[in-house]
């Protein structure tokens, strides 16, 4: 898999459609627009893998945009991660650059963002707690849990 990728995922009956889209990782609005443009009648969301360091799940709903960030500590060194924390109304961590390498990351956001499609808060927590996995591997594991792992692998090459 690539180190950077952005895909939309939509449930179409009993199958999933996974498509890449361009995201420069400067604003969450691009992902929101990509998901909304699908005009999916059922579950639709975006998965963003940023430098294989962390991932973001973006899920627009009629009541607002739901977000999940796999590693909030990245907000201290990455503008896109910081913008996600701001969207979540979570304080951006103040971690000195020399201390960052020794900082253990933590997830922030809506842990039950995908519960209605079969990914429980507990399973998502276990996946993001796996510190030995790259972000792309964590997203692949999420895709396996939901049954679109082959489509994800094909979409991101």
Residue given tokens 């977000």 in the structure block: 67
Specify whether the CB–CB gap between 37 and 10 falls below 8 A. Answer: no
Per-residue pLDDT of 26-79, as tens digits, reads: 889 999 999 999 988 889 999 999 999 999 999 999 899 999 999 999 999 999
How many alpha carbons lie under 13 Å from residue 72 in its C-beta half-sphere?
Answer: 17
- What tens digit of pLDDT does each residue of 103-122 get? 889 999 999 999 999 999 99
Q: Among 20, 71, 66, which residue's Cα sits nearest to residue 43? A: 66
Residue ranges per structural domain of the chain: 5-156
- For residue 2, pLDDT over 70 is answered with no
């Amino acid at each position: 898999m690539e180190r950077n990728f952005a895909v939309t995922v939509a449930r179409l009956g009993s199958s999933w459609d996974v498509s890449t889209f361009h995201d420069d990782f400067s604003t969450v609005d691009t992902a929101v627009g990509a998901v909304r443009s699908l005009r999916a009648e059922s579950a639709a969301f975006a998965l963003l893998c940023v430098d294989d360091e962390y991932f973001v799940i973006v899920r627009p709903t009629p009541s607002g945009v739901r977000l999940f960030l796999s590693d909030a500590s990245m907000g201290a060194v990455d503008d896109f991660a910081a913008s996600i924390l701001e969207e979540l109304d979570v304080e951006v961590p103040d971690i000195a650059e020399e201390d960052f390498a020794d900082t253990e990351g933590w997830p922030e956001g809506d842990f039950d963002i995908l519960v209605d499609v079969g990914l429980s808060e507990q399973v998502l927590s276990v996946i993001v707690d796996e510190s030995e996995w790259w972000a792309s591997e964590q997203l692949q594991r999420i895709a396996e849990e939901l049954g679109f792992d082959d489509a994800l692998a094909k979409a991101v090459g």
